[in-house]
A and B are shown apart, each in its own frame.
Chain A
Amino acid sequence: MKKIVFLVLIDIVKNRVVVAYTLILAILSWGVFMLEDSSNKGLLTLLNVVLLVVPLMSLLFSTIYLYNSVEFIELLVSQPVKRKSIWLSLYGGLAISLTGAFLLAVGLPVFLFCEFNAAGILVITGCLITLIFTSIAFLSAISSRDKAKGIGIAIMLWLYFALLFDGLVLFLLFQFGEYPIEKPMVLLSILSPLDLSRILNLLQMDSSALMGYTGAIFKNYFGTAIGMVVAFMVLAAWTIIPLFISLKIFNKKDL
């Protein structure tokens, strides 16, 4: 399994797209901190970048990479290698390179410019978002043999998580504003890893005071140690479940 991870990593480095991704993220994060005089504002800007760009890159790059690796997979399947280790090695290679890029480009400046707690949460959720969307990419790539369809599914999923879900939440908020919907809102946030990450990050910043009553409710749930643990467990589940389902499908796939 180590050998295949190694082969995948070399291939990704040679491909250079992840290197470019690292550079762009680095320029963004250094730029944000150079331009904003308050590090807290910078962090907020960076949070929005992380919540849009990181999932898009993880999802699209991983999906396309998997479709490109069809021949590689086919070559390995006839060799004495477990199917499970082929699939998990591909995941490992992609996850290592993408989280490495994120840590290098965003992690470094964030820890330099911001206070430890807020920086820590941003870096951890950023890494988890990378892992989650790589895992979702594996599910979308295995769900169809048709490349255009698979990549289409990936883009739709990104649109849903990054844009549509927020719209739905806002819609519900306005429609049922008269009712006590704060608690259902907390439950609803579990359905989107990006919203959950945003809440976790905002609670660590001063701006959480601006969120009003709903913010207070969220603070009640996710501000506590148990709430944090639950939130991270939900994020871990978002990583493991799609990957596990895709592995089950891959194990039974005819090549």
Chain B
Amino acid sequence: MIALHNISKQFGKLEVLKHIELSFNQGECIAIVGPNGCGKTTMIKSILNMVIPDSGQILFNGIDIRNHYKYRMDIGYMPQIGRYPENMNIGQVIKTIKLLRGSNSKLDDELYIQFGIDQLKSKKMATLSGGTRQKVSAILAFMFNPKVLILDEPTAGLDPLSAELLKEKILKEKNNGKLVLISSHLLAELDDIVSEVVFMEDGNILFHKNTAIIKKETGEQTISKAITRILKKSI
């Protein structure tokens, strides 16, 4: 569904992505893990065409995403730090996106209800806490029933209860056959959702493997332990 061919990106002298080759298919739930500054967010943003790679090609359903914008109709994106127009309130932000998406399909307001955002909808974005912003980002990502969900550090900043709600929602959408991309460095919380792991380091892909295979190879019960073991071995 999504394929990255030979993607490279430099910010000044810093090489953030080095000849990335990856492909993701429908129904998978992929965790992109790696230390801070390894290029996770840059890679995600280049799939959304928010960052424009210096070289290489990104295909979405076989179509090059350059000069093509409609493919983003199928993507729900939850940014790591959601930045919204400060003078709008929550309701206006949601309305704006609805207007732009021209939502014909039925809207998914499950998270909107579960997070209890309705009582906060006249609050200005400037006054929101980090966690509430994060909730708004999550609501917007899931609202339009996209085929692909791209979540950048989804649970960072959420309280445990909301994080659990979000995790359940992710699991549900994955079971509906959607492609879910999650970037995170908290391995433990991804254990029961993820089907594949992509490990990045310094702009390179260290490995891209199925979780069952990883667990089998290392003989560990949880992904976090398995990955730690692999990393220790490679050092």
Partner-B contacts on A (CB < 8 A): 3-4, 7, 11, 14, 69-72, 74-83, 252-255
Contacts and interface: CB of A to CB of B under 8 A. Distances in A.
B64 to A, nearest CB: 15
B97 interface: yes
Contact of B96 (A7, A74, A77, A80): A7
Contact of B83 (A74, A81, A254): A74
A255 B75 CA distance: 17
Closest 4 CB pairs of A and B: A80-B72, A80-B73, A71-B83, A254-B51
Interface of B: 11, 45, 48-52, 69-73, 75, 77, 79, 83-87, 93, 96-97, 99-101
Given A252-B52, A255-B51, A78 B100 contact: no
B99 A254 contact: no
A88 to B, nearest CB: 14
A81 B48 CA distance: 11
A116 B131 CA distance: 61
A78 B101 contact: no
A78 B48 contact: yes
A80 B83 CA distance: 18
Nearest to B95: A7
B85 A69 contact: yes
Nearest to A14: B87
A206 B22 CA distance: 73
A154 to B, nearest CB: 22
A81 B77 contact: no
Contacts of B83: 70-71, 74-75
B52 A78 contact: no
Contact of B85 (A71, A252, A253): A71
Given A3-B99, A4-B100, A75 B93 contact: yes
A77 to B, nearest CB: 5
A78 B77 contact: yes
A4 B86 CA distance: 17
Contacts of A80: 69-73, 100-101
Contacts of A70: 83
B86 A78 contact: no
B50 to A, nearest CB: 5
A79 to B, nearest CB: 5
A80 B50 CA distance: 12
A156 B162 CA distance: 50
A69 B84 CA distance: 9
A236 B99 CA distance: 33
Nearest to A254: B51
A70 B87 CA distance: 12
A72 B87 CA distance: 10
Most buried by B among A79, A253, A255: A79
Contacts of A79: 72, 97, 100-101
A14 B124 CA distance: 15
B85 A77 contact: no
A83 B68 CA distance: 10
B50 A77 contact: yes
A254 to B, nearest CB: 4
Nearest to B42: A254
Contacts of A83: 69
Contacts of A81: 69, 72, 100
A254 B100 contact: no
A247 to B, nearest CB: 14
Contacts of A7: 96, 99
A79 B97 CA distance: 8
